[in-house]
Amino acid sequence: MLIKTIHGWRIPENRATPEHVFFNRRKFIAAAGFAGIGLAAGIRPGRAAENPSAGLYPAPVNEMYKDAGRPITPEEVNTTYNNFYEFGTSKRISQAAEALKIRPWEIAFEGEVEQPFKLAFDELLKKMQLEQRVYRHRCVEAWSMTVPWSGFALKDLVALAKPTSNAKFVKFETFFNPDIAPEQKPPLFGAGYPWPYAEGLTMAEAMNDLAFMVTGAYGKPVAKSMGAPIRLHLPWKYGFKSIKSINKITFTAERPRSFWETLGPSEYGFWANVNPAVAHPRWSQAEERVLETGEKIPTVIFNGYGEQVASLYAGMDSLGDKLYR
Ligand code: MTE
């Protein structure tokens, strides 16, 4: 399929961004914030004081996921180096993302469910037991980070939605609001992006304990740039599966088509499991660059979470294309 729009994201990261310049500057800000000076706190996106759910954080640590075997990426790096295409095609969308209004925020549950319904985000929070989990995050662009997320297991949300036995997949969608998200405005030329951003999982994937609905990070409500008020995180899959700012969840009998799969099915597959043996058509996935330190480390199958998820893909060729696409 033709890729309608060519953007910087499709260029291997190491060729697209002169990061040493960016990170040297950011390191200074991060260090100041962590030393408790609070230099960055007053301008930090998604700051806790404005958020009615701030009192729920920090959430209790889930001992099973208290350590991802890697140092935690500094918060300032994480909140200011993002992929959030609704707000721009560069990594520096954190200011633009502040335009996102996260209250009121409703999530619609539709499709193959006993009864479709809508739920206000704050009502949903009251029904869920929040916990903190430290997860690895590996982008298809071959960079990685480690994040202390807060939220709840996706399987608990599935239980709340009451899908019928016809539900084989679950589809997630992000808001559509061109008034605040500049990239959602109709393009002057061409077809543009297939908004809203959408992603999908099999029901078995959604029920896996690792699949996590994120509402917080770094002991506070998740920043707008990182997908407030609620996003997904699937640590064994490439980051593009972890859809941000979700407002619709649909249970389906048919496999949903995701945003990036629509744009470039040969590059961004449905499964998108982290797999060092399957190169992206334009770059290797054998290694990843750790954000902040710049260290290059080998990428591991399922991003190191094979014990929990490999059985989901039994019968698929683990070294072949299938596991990825
Ligand atoms: N969700 C939406 N709605 N829009 C996006 O552009 N980008 C994806 C994913 N979720 C994206 C999204 C990609 S490509 C990645 S790598 C991660 O979000 C990045 O998450 P982060 O900015 O918190 O690192």
> In this structure, what DSSP letter does residue 220 have?
E
Name every residue whose Cβ is closer than 8 Å to that of residue 10 and which is 6 or more positions away in sequence: 3, 264, 267, 282
Is 213 among the domain residues?
yes
Is 228 among the domain residues?
yes
> In this structure, what DSSP letter does residue 289 have?
E
How far, in Å, is the centroid of ligand 1 from the Cα of 91? 10
> In this structure, what DSSP letter does residue 31 have?
H
CA separation for the pair 99, 87 (Å, rounded): 9
Is 30 among the domain residues?
no
Percent of the chain with pLDDT over 90: 76
pLDDT greater than 70 at residue 14: no
Q: 298: domain range?
A: 56-323
27-63 pLDDT, tens digit per residue, is 333 333 322 222 233 334 444 456 899 999 999 999 9
What H or E segment, with its residue span, contains residue 59? none
Q: Which of 239, 247, 238, 266 is nearest to 325 (CA)?
A: 266
240 lines ligand 1 (CB under 6 A): yes
Task: Provide φ and ψ at 240, rounded to 5°.
Answer: -65, -15
Is 11 among the domain residues?
no
Is 21 among the domain residues?
no
Q: Which of 83, 71, 68 is nearest to 293 (CA)?
A: 71
Q: Which of 29, 54, 56 is nearest to 40 (CA)?
A: 29
> Which ligand 1 atom is the nearest neighbour of the CA of 141?
16
Q: Ligand 1, from 75, 83, 137: best to mutate by most atoms within 8 Å of Cβ?
A: 83
84 lines ligand 1 (CB under 6 A): yes
73-88 pLDDT, tens digit per residue, is 999 999 999 999 999 9
Q: In three state form, how does the secondary structure of 199-214 look?
A: EEEEHHHHCCCCCEEE
Is 303 among the domain residues?
yes
Is 44 among the domain residues?
no
The enclosing domain of 70 has a CATH number of 3.90.420.10
How far, in Å, is the centroid of ligand 1 from the Cα of 196? 13
How far, in Å, is the centroid of ligand 1 from the Cα of 161? 24
Is 283 among the domain residues?
yes
Q: Which of 186, 185, 189, 246 is nearest to 215 (CA)?
A: 246
> What pLDDT sits at residue 316?
76
> In this structure, what DSSP letter does residue 237 have?
B
State the distance between the two ends of the chain, measured CA to CA, in whole angstroms: 14
Using the CB atoms, write b or e for 124-145: b if 16+ within 10 Å.
bbeebebbbbbbbbbbbbbbbb
Domain tally for the chain?
A: 1
Question: The whole model's pTM is what?
Answer: 0.86
195-237 pLDDT, tens digit per residue, is 999 999 999 999 999 999 999 999 999 999 999 999 999 999 9
CA separation for the pair 263, 171 (Å, rounded): 17
Rg (CA), the chain: 19
Name every residue whose Cβ is closer than 8 Å to that of residue 301 and which is 6 or more positions away in sequence: 273, 274, 275, 276, 277, 310, 318
